[in-house]
Chains A and B, each alone.
Chain A
């Protein structure tokens, strides 16, 4: 199939591994899905320490279930990316470990305290869900299938995240102040979740023309603001003065893009942001520390195949 045919046919769930697709499509889809998969994994690693720091047994159970879900989403997405035949799962995981794999801006920043959890679990997950809901209509069918499962589970994450926010914002004055501070720190990063504005987005036009992407960064960002600014206010959070938010006559919102730190955003996008390197290396260390588990499992698989592995193998 040539590129023009792809563009003509592009529609929801139009292409599957049975189709002979041009390299440009395969590469664009791989980049997009690999980025998504890496983000699921890096988000899970960012939140993982807070399973231990959760303030109650209920939170601990729900939070560990959530982190487990995110790792599962990563696995589903690597599978969807792998089916394009451009990169193997091993290559993608290796790139993530050595710092070549790209992932979401928000997961480059360290999480220091429990009050920051709703910033990820409610706002970032809410933003992610908004985007993922549109990707159920992406043209790469295995990606759309993965989104069905992801969206099914994600509602729990967002509502649990909001429940944590509600608890903090109805808690002690100190808790409310700390949550407000965390919100002020995270708010610009959350808005940047949707990436650069349409005119600065390098990949959008192609991805949209072949049906991989269903809505532009600006459309998604605006839809998110309309939904989540009222939510934030309802919980008693004050929207920071910067970046400036305009309310349009019809009650919808738009952000003043120039007020956001795009230098930092693009440094992060290149994996050059110092705290982000800490996240990447931290995950690599955790990965190395449990190498013995993978070795054991793979060892068992070999045994089942009739060959007993020796210590010297």
Chain B
């Protein structure tokens, strides 16, 4: 039986898919996951999910959105004269941080 493994690096972060393990039951799957996926990279928590429990939908089935370039929405997209007001710089930094955390780049 195949179990898909999802790793969370830090508290509050997303669990991201990182691979799978073969195991006869959930307990064994958790142990294998800890050994195979929790030793080398920073790990706060792991999920194991039976592969057959995962539903998938892809581009064959549906036209997804998210293809529009919306960089115009961010302060980081505009190069002006520099030396911006401190509150403008702060806003731009917050936006850049949020962008990194979303993993858009």
Contacts and interface: CB of A to CB of B under 8 A. Distances in A.
A235 interface: yes
5 contacts: A62-B73, A65-B70, A65-B72, A155-B94, A163-B79
B70 to A, nearest CB: 8
B11 interface: no
Contact of A151 (B72, B80, B81, B91): B91
Nearest to A157: B75
A133 B90 contact: yes
Given A152-B95, A155-B95, A129 B81 contact: no
Given A155-B92, A156-B74, A130 B87 contact: yes
A136 to B, nearest CB: 9
A51 B6 CA distance: 44
The size bracket of the interface on A is 20 to 34
B14 to A, nearest CB: 21
Contacts of A231: 81, 83
A126 B95 contact: no
A234 interface: yes
Nearest to B97: A152
Nearest to A132: B87
B64 interface: no
B63 interface: no
Interface string A161-180: 01100100000000000000
Contacts of A129: 85, 87-88, 91
A155 B88 contact: yes
Given A129-B85, A151-B87, A151-B90, A159 B80 contact: yes
Interface of chain A, main secondary structure: helix
B60 interface: no
Nearest to B91: A155
Contacts of A65: 70, 72-73
A235 B90 contact: no
B93 to A, nearest CB: 9
A120 to B, nearest CB: 16
Interface of A: 58, 61-62, 65, 126, 129-130, 132-133, 151-156, 158-160, 162-163, 166, 227-228, 230-231, 234-235
Contacts of A151: 87, 90-91, 94
A122 B95 CA distance: 18
Given A129-B87, A130-B87, A162 B94 contact: no
A162 B78 contact: yes
Given A132-B87, A133-B86, A159-B80, 13 more contacts: A65-B70, A129-B85, A129-B91, A130-B87, A154-B91, A155-B92, A156-B77, A156-B78, A158-B85, A159-B92, A162-B81, A163-B79, A163-B80
A154 B78 CA distance: 13
A163 B78 CA distance: 7
A290 B85 CA distance: 38
A152 B85 CA distance: 14
A155 B90 CA distance: 8
Nearest to B79: A163
Contacts of B72: 58, 61-62, 65, 160
